[in-house]
Structure 1
Amino acid sequence: MLGCETKRGACMAGSSRKPSGKLYIVRHGQSAGNVARDVAEANGDELIDLNHRDADTPLSDLGWAQARALGDWLAGLPEDARPDAILASPFVRAHQTAEVLAEALGFDPKRIEVDERLREKEFGVLDRYTRHGIQSKFPDLAAQRGMVGKFYFRPPGGESWCDVILRLRSVVDGIRLTKPDCRVVVVGHQVIVNCFRYLLEGMREEDILAVDREGDFPNCGYAEYDIDAGPPVQFALRHGRFVAPTLESIEVTSESDVPTGPR
């Protein structure tokens, strides 16, 4: 992983105090898939009408506006809180969001660190099915998911929340090792935000499911942590579900990501 500008310690060059940083876990702006999903659910369709794979789903017009609003907010933060590093999921909607943030912060887009471990949860055979479609086409899987619960349920060819958490553990370790004194933005997806919270706050299954029941995470909202560079490196929650005032002036959305299978 690249450092903010340089390697560990350089962010605090010339300072005698202990290095410290920030971590912002951002959900991408509203996507065209979010819009298509709402239409399919409202019509009672079994499948979401998309002409491309989930990884290629772009931002909607509103999603672009949300990303710009968040970028304006982050760029206006005090210097000791303003991001100096961006990590992003390779999925188009997340990377487009990251590019808008980079522009607002005055970054070269080449500084965005694309990391496949930040990709959306994989839904396997349930990809693109609505809730109605899953009940209709895969009643046995729907029953199994009801018994096992969303935290442990893994659809054929897909992932459970635990699988996502496993790949994110190494992302957190990388931040601890190379960016504890930097101000890092991670742009990912709804499940990614929740799974980061699970890891960084030392949660158990019941804790993160309680957070999930609060509602879908806002598009271009973020969870914010202070990083104490230690040793040991520690993360302290400041905001679990923050929506920037600049975003509220556009429109706040929180639709589930596509595919719509059990998250």
Structure 2
Amino acid sequence: MGVVDALEWLNLTRHGESTGNVAYGAAVGTEAEEYDIPERDADVPLTPTGREQAKRLGRWLAELPPEERPTLAVASPYQRTLDTARIALAEAPYEVELEVDERLRDREQGILQGLTWRGVLRRHPEEAARMRHLGKFYYRPPGGESWADLALRLRSFYRDLDMNAPGGRALVVTHDAIIVMTRYLVERLSEKEIMAIEKEPVANASLTRWSNDGSRLRPVTYNDRAHLLD
């Protein structure tokens, strides 16, 4: 039995582009050991591009047929996800209550927070070695979480969602790692399968969807960006 077999539709989206995403992109391939992000992770805001992406997500919501429209929405408590959800839902011509759940927050990085891979190698070479030995799925940085840890808190979240909203159509606004690990749980994938999927970045404001075929949720689309195009 899966973790969300009672839902009719499960729609996940990543937050729109954030200032943290821009800082990360600027640091990749350089000598930088840290990303230039002054805020704590929970307070990183959307960029103007991210806000426009959220509006386009909302226009997609507005165009859904009635039988596919979300009956509930849940977001990570981080600023970038909350703003994405609020902007998108404001575009929809129907009322959906937005709830917040801390189990949807991004993966905790612990002592590696804010570091590039070059920074990890230089400042914590023992952690880089441990990561290589254990593999990305099971490696837990000191003070942080492994990908397997995400599965534990997400099992709890989805079981609650399944119990409280049977037959519901959920919109979940969250982070890339949460979307990847939701595939792991809903589609009952292996470590090897999900780590292969994780190599493809989940795009900002992209859509990943599952629909119930009468027995369980089946994948409809992954990392879809068509609604963001002109």
| TM value normalised by structure 2 | 0.92
Q: Is residue 95 from structure 1 mapped to residue 82 from structure 2 by the alignment?
A: yes
Aligned with 1:166 (options 144, 149, 152): 152
Residue 246 of structure 1: CA displacement?
A: 3.0
* Map 1:132-211 → 2, pairs under 5 A: 132-211=118-197
With over 3 angstroms needed to count, the CA separation of the structure-2 counterparts of 1:228 and 1:170, relative to structure 1, is farther
* Map 1:35-54 → 2, pairs under 5 A: 35-54=22-41
Q: Is residue 217 from structure 1 mapped to residue 209 from structure 2 by the alignment?
A: no
Aligned with 1:119 (options 94, 102, 105): 105
1:240 paired residue number: 222
- What runs of 5+ residues in structure 2 fail to find an aligned partner? 1-5
- What runs of 5+ residues in structure 1 fail to find an aligned partner? 1-18, 250-263
Residue 108 of structure 1: CA displacement?
A: 6.1
- SS of equivalent to 1:23: strand
Query: Does the 8 A contact of 2:56 with 2:88 survive in 1?
Result: no
Query: Does the 8 A contact of 1:180 with 1:227 survive in 2?
Result: no
Cα separation, 1, equivalents of 2:180 and 2:192: 13
* Map 1:2-21 → 2, pairs under 5 A: 21=8
2:21 paired residue number: 34
Cα separation, 2, equivalents of 1:172 and 1:20: 10
Counterpart residue identity of residue 248, structure 1: L
Cα separation, 1, equivalents of 2:141 and 2:213: 38
Counterpart residue identity of residue 247, structure 1: L
* Map 1:247-262 → 2, pairs under 5 A: 247-249=228-230
Q: How many residues align?
A: 225
- SS of equivalent to 1:80: helix
With over 3 angstroms needed to count, the CA separation of the structure-2 counterparts of 1:20 and 1:133, relative to structure 1, is closer
Q: Is residue 70 from structure 1 mapped to residue 57 from structure 2 by the alignment?
A: yes
2:73 paired residue number: 86
C-alpha deviations, 1:150-194, integer Å up to 9, x for none?
100000000000111100001111222122312110011010000
- SS of equivalent to 1:226: strand
Query: Does the 8 A contact of 2:7 with 2:162 survive in 1?
Result: no
Cα separation, 2, equivalents of 1:61 and 1:122: 26
Residue 40 of structure 1: CA displacement?
A: 2.3
Cα separation, 2, equivalents of 1:100 and 1:202: 32
2:3 paired residue number: none
Cα separation, 1, equivalents of 2:61 and 2:78: 22
Percent identical among aligned pairs is 38
Cα separation, 2, equivalents of 1:128 and 1:28: 19
Counterpart residue identity of residue 228, structure 2: L
Aligned with 2:46 (options 34, 43, 59): 59
- SS of equivalent to 2:188: coil
Residue 106 of structure 1: CA displacement?
A: 4.1
| TM value normalised by structure 1 | 0.81
Cα separation, 1, equivalents of 2:123 and 2:61: 44
